[in-house]
Each structure stands twice: as structure tokens, then as C-alpha cells.
Amino acid sequence: MATDYDAPRKTEEDLSEDSLEELKARRSDKSSGQVDEDEIEAAEGYELPGADLSGEELSVRVLPRQADEFTCTSCFLVHHRSQLAYEKDGQQVCTECAA
Ligand SMILES: [Zn+2]
């Protein structure tokens, strides 16, 4: 059939035209710069939850220490006294930081 002979050629022409249009669209996107601004705004939005997480870490440090616990002066984490590696000049260091 003659249509079978023509069909592939038309498809190739359509593909080449689509790629040209895509290239033109990409060039216009780069020149506009609007896409980059949107990405920056999205990144700034993601930073806000991170700030909240830092606040949660501070609240954890404020938690009252138990009598059998100490705050490591190196990593500032509360450990059980069994994890106290050594105490020097009132500074208590946990076994993880002393290792
Ligand atoms: Zn430590």
C-alpha cells in the first residue's frame, strides 16, 4: 500500500518539527528566568520547616536533667552517668566524644 510508504516519512517530519518547537520553548524559558525564580521560592519555603526543627532541638536541651544523667560539654547531649568517660574542670564528656 502506498500509505505505508508515506507514513514513516510523515512521522519523521512531525518529530523534527516537534523537536524544533521544544528547542524554541526551552530557549524562551531560559531567557524569561521565571522558572528559576519559582525554584528559589520553593527552596526558601523548604527552609522554614528546618528552622522549626532547630527550635525543637533547643527545647530538648532545656528538658530537666535527671540526677543520674549529665550533659556532655562536647556534644551537649544528655547521657546516663554510665556513659560518663571523664570529668575535667567541671566539664563532663561522654564516652562517645572521648572515643
Ligand atoms: Zn558527648
pLDDT digits (tens, 9 = 90+) for 1-50: 556 666 666 666 666 677 777 777 777 665 555 566 676 666 666 555 55
pLDDT given for residue 25 in this prediction: 77
Alpha-carbon distance of 17 to 10, in angstroms, equals: 11
Would the pLDDT of 96 be above 80? Answer: yes
Q: How many angstroms does the Cα of residue 52 sit away from the middle of ligand 1? A: 24
Q: Which three cell numbers stand for residue 24?
A: 524554541
Q: How many angstroms does the Cα of residue 83 sit away from the middle of ligand 1? A: 9
Per-residue model confidence as pLDDT tens digits over 76-92: 999 999 999 999 888 99
Confidence of residue 55 (pLDDT cuts 50, 70, 90): low
Per-residue model confidence as pLDDT tens digits over 65-79: 678 999 999 999 999
Q: How many angstroms does the Cα of residue 98 sit away from the middle of ligand 1? A: 7
Give domain status of residue 85, yes or no: yes
Determine the Cα angle at 67 with ends 61 and 85, to 5°. 75
Give domain status of residue 82, yes or no: yes
- Number of structural domains, the chain? 1
Give domain status of residue 27, yes or no: no
Give domain status of residue 74, yes or no: yes
Q: How many angstroms does the Cα of residue 70 sit away from the middle of ligand 1? A: 10
Contact between 96 and 78 under an 8 Å Cβ cutoff? The reply is: no
pLDDT given for residue 18 in this prediction: 75
> Considering the entire predicted model, what is its pTM?
0.35
Instruction: Provide the residue range defining the domain that includes 70.
Output: 65-98
